[in-house]
Structure 1
Amino acid sequence: MKYLIIFLVPIFLFTGCAIKEYEKYDNISKASLEKVNFYDIENFYNDDFDFALKTFQKACKKSKRFSLFEDVCEESLKAKNGRDFFISNFQPYKLIDKNGKDEGIITGYYEPLLNGSLTKDEKYKYPIYKTPKDMVMVDLSSIYPELKKYRLRGKLEGNKVVPYDSRAVLDKKDNQNLEPICYVDDKFELFLLHIQGSGKVKLTNGDIINVGYANQNGRRYTSVGKYMLKKGYLKPNNASIQGMKAFFDKNPDKVDDILNHNESYVFFRKANQGATGALGVELTAKRNLAVDRNYIPLGMPVFLSTSNPITKEQINKLMVAADTGGAIKGEIRADFFWGYGDKAFKYAGKMKEKGTLYILIPKDQLMD
C-alpha cells in the first residue's frame, strides 16, 4: 500500500487541476456543455449587441412559440440596450464534442441568383420543381413517440409506400406529378440552389422571384465535393464551390454522373421574401447560422468564434440559430449565412474554418 500511495500522489497533483466538469441539459442540447462567464469569451464585448438584439427579436416572431424562449422573447421587446439584455437574461455555455474537443468546422452558405424563364426552351431547360403531387409523408410519431423527429417520404405503388425517386430519375422525368415554378439555364447553379435551400431567380422580363425550400425527396444527402476529391477531379487546395464550377465548365460531360452521386433532391415554393431558414424568418446576413438541432435549438443565441476564409481575420459575433442543413451534423458544426450576391458567394464557397460555439441559454430555463 505504501508504494501505491507514492505512485498515485503525483498523478493527482499533475492531472487533478486539469479535469473539467461538463453539464448536460438534454432537453436543450445533446452536447456536453462547459459553463463559462461572458468575460471568458474572447472579444465578446466588442460586438454590436444592439444589432444582435434586432436579429434575436426577428427570430422571436417564430421562436417565442417554444417554451425555451417564450419568456425571454417577451423581455426582448422591452430591451433598450442589447448588451444589458443578453448579459442579464442568458448564461453562456461552450459546446464540447464527444471527444472532449471545443473546436469544430464552420462552413458558409449564401442566397444564389439564377437566370430563368417561366417557359422552357433550349437555353432555359432545367426546372425548379414544386413538391410532387404524388409524394406522401408518413408520420409514425403517434404510435412510436421515439420517431417524432422522423418523416418518411415516398410514393404509392399499388398498396405499398416505396422510396421517392432519386435525383437521377427526377432529372429525366417530365410528368403530370412534377410542376415547375420556372426553368433556369445552368444545371450546376440549380444544384447549388438545392444545397442552399433558397434563392432568387431573375426572369427574362427582368422580374425577380424568390424561391424557398418546400420539401425533399427523402433520400440521404451525400457530399459531391468529397466524391470529386475521391475521384481526383478536385485537389484539396481547390475543393470549393468555385473549384467545382471550374471543373464542370471544362468537363460538361461529367456533370450528370457527378451530381447524381447525391440522390437527395429539393423541391421549392414561391416565396414572398428572401432567403428564409428552417425557423421561418428571413435570414440576416452575417447574423444567422444553420445548425444541428440536436445540439443547438432554433432561435438560440450563439456566439461564434472563427475566421474569414479569405482574409483570415477573426470573426467574433453573437448570432442566432435560424436554419438547418442536410450536411450540418455534429455538436460543433454550423453554416455561416453570408447573404446575397457575388461577394457572399465568394466567401461562402471558400469557407471551411475551425470554430468554437457558445450557446446562450435563458437563465429562467436553468432555475431548479
Structure 2
Amino acid sequence: MKQSIFILLISILFFGCTKGPQILSPKLPQTYLMESDFSNLPNFYEENYGDVLKEFQNSCKSSKSKKIYGELCNKSVSNLTPKEFLLEYFTPYVIHSKKAQNKGLLTGYYEAKLYASRSKSDKYKYPIYSTPKDLVSVDLGSIYPKLKNYRLRGRVVGNKLVPYDTREQSKDKDVNADVLCYCDSKIDRFFLEIQGSGRALLDTNETIFIGYDNQNGHRYRAIGRYLVKKNELLIEDVSLQSIKRWLEDNPSRVDEVLNYNQSLVYFREKYQGATGAMGLELSPSRSVAVDRRYIPLGSMLYLNAMVDDKELSKVVFAQDTGGAIKGAVRADLFLGAGSKALEIAGRLKSELHLWILLPKENRKNYE
C-alpha cells in the first residue's frame, strides 16, 4: 500500500496536468517534461525488446528503480511479449533543459585498463588510494532538505571542517589512506578517475576490479578545456585520444595539466566489472550516467544521437553518475571494456535527444 501511494505521489509530482514542457516536480526543480508517444521515438520499433526487458528486470534489482516503477517490476515477468509490455505499461516524455530546449549532449565512457602491482617499485610507483580515513563527508540534505544530493567533503582541523587537499596538494604528502595497488602511469591513473572504474592487470597475472568510492570535494574541471585555453589543442580536436597523446608528448607539463583538475577520486576494490552508482554491474550500450538532479537514478530512458556518422536510437537505463555530467538533456553512455570501447568513447560527442519512460498506469491520476 505504501509503495502504491509513493508511485501515485511521484506521478503527480512529475506530471501535473500541463500540456507543454513544464517543471512538474518540486524534487527536480529544473526538469521540464512533455508527454510524447512511442511513434515519436526514432527507430523505436526496431529495438531489441527482449534485451530491453532483460535489462529492465536487472535494473529492478535496485530499490531506486522499484521506487519509480513499483509493480511494473513484478509485471515484467507476465505473459506479455517484451514489446507488448513496453507499449502497454509505459508512456514516453521528452526531457527538456531549463531553457525548454530538448537538445543536449551525449558522450561515452569505458572501463579503463591499467598495469599495476600490489607492491611499490621503480616501475609501479603511482598509488591508487582508497578513501582517506580523515575524509569527512556531510550529507547536506540531512540538515537542509532543499540541498538533497549535495555533500560537503573536507577534514577536521581543530574544531573546523576545512577543504580536503587538492590533487596538487596531495602529491607529496602521505595520504591517510590504504593503497589498493600501484600503477605504472600517472596518465592512465588520471583517466581511471575520469572513467570511474577499471580493471588492473597485476604483475602476478591476477586481474582486480577497481571502482569509484569517493572524492576530495573539489569540483571537476576538464583538462581538455585547459589545453584549448592554452592554445595547445583546437576545441574541435579535443578527445580522450588527443589529450592523452598531448600528455605523452609533453612529459614535463603533465603535472601542470593534471593539477588543473583539483578533483581527486578514491577507489575501492570490487568483485565484478564496472559498477554504477546504483551498485549494479553496468551493461555496455545500455547503461548511462546522468545528472541525478534532473533524472532519477533507476529511470528507463530513450536516446537518439549520432555515433560515428550512424544514428543511434535505443532504450538505456540511468544507472550511474559522473562529475562531468551536468544538465537535464545529458548522458554518458557506457561502452564496455577493450580498445574498441576506448576508441569510440574517446571521441563520442554528439547532439542528444532524450526521453524518460514512466508508468502509464498512473496517467488517470494526473489528467
TM-score normalised by L of structure 1: 0.90
Instruction: Give 2:342's match in structure 1, choosing from 342, 345, 351.
Output: 345
Query: In structure 2, do the counterparts of structure 1 residues 180 and 301 end up closer, same or farther at CA, with 3 Å as the change threshold?
Result: same
* CA–CA distance in structure 1, aligned partners of residues 79 and 199 of structure 2: 34
TM-aligned CA deviation for residue 279 of structure 1: 1.2
Which is worse superposed, 96-105 or 120-129? 96-105
Q: C-alpha displacement at 1:257, in angstroms?
A: 0.6
Aligned to 2:210: 211
> 1:253 is matched with which residue?
252
- Are the counterparts in 2 of residues 291 and 329 from structure 1 also a CA contact under 8 Å? yes
Match of 2:31 in 1: 31
Rg larger for: 1
Asked if 1:364 corresponds to 2:361, the answer is yes
Counterparts of 1:119 and 1:264 in 2: how far apart (Å)?
26
Specify the code of the residue in structure 2 equivalent to 1:295.
Y
**Residue 78 of structure 1: aligned partner:** 78
Task: State the partner residue of 1:6.
Answer: none
Q: How does 1:65-214 map to 2 (within 5 A)?
A: 66-78=66-78, 81-175=81-175, 177-214=176-213
Q: After TM superposition, give the deviation of residue 328 of structure 1 in Å.
A: 0.6
Residues 303, 359 of structure 1: 8 Å contact kept: yes
Residue matched to 2:11: none
Structure 1 unmatched ranges of 5 or more = 1-19
Tell me by how many angstroms 1:65 deviates.
6.4
Show the counterpart of 1:282: 281
Q: Does 1:312 align with 2:279?
A: no
- For residues 129 and 187 of structure 1, the distance between their equivalents in structure 2, rounded to whole angstroms, comes to 13
> Does residue 46 of structure 2 align to residue 46 of structure 1?
yes
Q: CA deviation at 1:159?
A: 1.2
Q: Give SS of 2:120's match.
A: coil
Q: Residue 189 of structure 1 aligns to a residue in which SS?
A: helix
Over 3 Å counting, the alpha-carbon distance change for 1:179 and 1:36 in structure 2 is: same
Q: Which moved more, 1:337-346 or 1:20-29?
A: 20-29
Question: CA separation of 1:79/1:355 partners in 2, compared to 1, >3 Å: closer, same or farther?
Answer: farther
Q: Distance in 1 between matches of 2:149 and 2:37?
A: 33
SS in 1 for 2:193: helix
CA offsets 1:267-311 (integer angstroms, 9 cap, x no match): 000001000011110000001110111221111111110011xx3
Between the two proteins, the alignment pairs up a number of residues equal to 346
Gaps of 5+ in 2: 1-18
Map of 1:231-270 to 2, 5 A cutoff? 231-270=230-269
How far, CA to CA, are the matches of 2:345 and 2:210 in structure 1?
A: 19
- Classify the secondary structure of the residue corresponding to 2:124: coil
Letter in 2 for 1:243: S
2:65 and 2:298 in contact (8 A); partners too: no
How far 1:338 sits from its partner (Å)?
A: 0.7
Whole-Å Cα distance in 1 between the matches of residues 364 and 170 of structure 2?
A: 51
Alpha-carbon distance, 1:96 to partner:
1.6
User: 1:291·1:324 contact (CA, 8 Å) conserved in 2?
Assistant: yes
8 Å CA contact retained: 1:64, 1:70: no
The answer on whether the counterparts of 1:112 and 1:199 sit within 8 Å (CA) in structure 2 is yes
Q: Secondary structure of the residue that 1:112 maps to in structure 2?
A: strand
Q: Deviations over 1:339-358 (max 9, x none)?
A: 11110000000011001001
User: Residue 255 of structure 2 aligns to which amino acid in structure 1?
Assistant: D
CA RMSD, Structure 1 to Structure 2 (Å): 1.6
Letter of the 1:299 partner, please give it.
G
SS in 2 for 1:279: coil
Check 1:358–1:140 CA distance in 2 against 1; reply closer, same or farther (3 A cut): closer
Between 42-51 and 135-144, the greater mean CA deviation after superposition: 135-144
TM-score for both structures, normalised by structure 2: 0.90
Q: How has the CA–CA distance of structure 1 residues 340 and 365 changed in structure 2, closer, same or farther, with 3 Å as cutoff?
A: farther
